[in-house]
Amino acid sequence: MLLNEENQNRVSRAIAAVEKDTDAELVTVLARQADNYRYIPMMWAALLSLLVPLILAFTPVWLAPLEVLLAQWTTLVVLALVFRWPPLMMRLVPASVKQRRAADLARRVFLDQGLHHTKGGTGVLIFVCEAEHYVEILADHGIARHVPNERWQSIVDTFTAHVKARDTLNGFLECVASCGDELITHVPATEQKNELPNHLIVL
């Protein structure tokens, strides 16, 4: 479940605490879902409805072509509706599709939030898609040259485990703290600035 206002404020305070000691600009974004995937239920329903004539061919009851067509269309409509149930639909979406949609959204958010326009290229995005169990950290050039991708991936893996366990709040707090350790070490504060919002952005 998306974080309530109190928990969002806890994340915001954690960001503010980190940014006091670093020149980096840390932005956190929580999205419920990267895509509506509306085509997925229809695709699966259409594929399975194609099997209806084959199944009926092995039944002892003879059906007229119009009746077979009606059974096929009924199967299509019923399955399309059933497969739109969110928990089931997300299981039907291929993992590669979910990852690609979430990654695309993360990059759009990075640009929309102006993380590529910070002074010194010090923007860092912590992006989470709950439905896809997707977590990514995107760092601009001023940060990327100091912190290796392997370190970000280690933080992401830990956060992803929290999201899968429906413990998004603690995942955020731990991630912000871990990112803070890297940012304070490699990009310590040299001036007081706050170019981007500290509050958790919920999509």
pLDDT tens digits, the chain, 203 residues: what are they? Answer: 568 888 888 889 999 888 888 888 889 999 988 888 888 888 898 898 888 887 777 777 777 778 778 888 888 889 888 988 888 888 888 889 989 999 999 999 998 888 888 888 888 899 999 888 999 999 888 888 888 888 899 999 999 998 888 888 898 999 999 998 888 888 888 877 766 777 888 88
> How much is the pLDDT for 1?
53
Structural domain spans, the chain: 5-35+94-202, 39-92
Domain range 5-35+94-202, its CATH number among 3.10.310.50, 3.40.50.620, 3.30.450.20, 3.40.640.10: 3.10.310.50
Give the three-state DSSP class for 175: helix
pLDDT given at position 107 = 92
Q: Which residue has the tokens 């239920």?
A: 41
**Using an 8 Å Cβ cutoff, are 176 and 15 in contact?**
yes
Lateral strand order in the sheet of 201-202: 134-139, 123-129, 25-31, 201-202
Map residue 106 onto helix, strand or coil: helix
Full-model pTM: 0.80
